Amino acid sequence: MSEPVRLKIGEGVAWLTISRPDKLNALDGEMVDAIVPACREIERSAAKVAILTGEGERSFCAGGDIDAWSNASPEAFGRHWVRDGHAAFDALARLAVPLIAVLNGHTLGGGLELAACADLRIAEAHVRIGQPETGLGIIPGWSGTQRAVRRFGPQLVRRMALFGHVYGAEEALALGLVDQVVATGEGRAAAEIAAAGVMKRSARATELTKMLINAAEGEESERVVEALAGAVAAASDELQEGLSAFRERRPARFGQ
């Protein structure tokens, strides 16, 4: 059996594939847990851009597998299922490199929350997008009322989450849920073209710009401020003097 979350890195591109087509690529706990280490591997690789997609043509991701959470206690549901999902999706949204999502099938519930983590969303023509959770008696718990609102706007999220509106690809494009629509089967090729454009740009400037956009959006303001300030401090001569003084057990001579 293949891994349900596959990562392949080569030629500057990291491909992350949700691969559970018999369950419409619905996420279970094992798959959620695999996303954070995959993101860590992408961060530590030479990849300049990442592409996220689902296996097959039926579904990008049908959200959280009902069998994986429906029998959990309320405490376990909130403490583990929701929080672990947030940790995984936060890791995706906060990747240093741009993330492109190829919506190659239906994108529902947690699948939309997964797609919301991306910087660019490419939808194939047959997809359907929506948030059906309240029809099941549950809420959109993986930032479907938070990041989704920041990315798509509150009124659009209201239509999907409160009134059950489901959108086709062209409607989603007009509403800003996706950035591009292509024919069925052409999503990966379109993502490769977009990735090639990213790789022509400065990797460092792209990373810094993404961090600043995330901070402006409220995605990770605290980490961005400290990361940028830390990088400035680490590049200074005073850091080297401070480290030398520590190792030589003498007072540091800053500015001398």
Active-site amino acid positions: 113, 133
Rounded to whole angstroms, how far apart are CA atoms 123 and 247?
55
- E strand intervals along the chain: 5-10, 13-18, 49-54, 59-61, 99-103, 106-108, 120-124, 128-130, 167-168, 180-182
Distances (CA, A) of 2 to 9, 21, 24, 100, 230: 17, 11, 15, 23, 40
Percent helix, strand and coil across the chain, each rounded to 5? 50, 15, 35
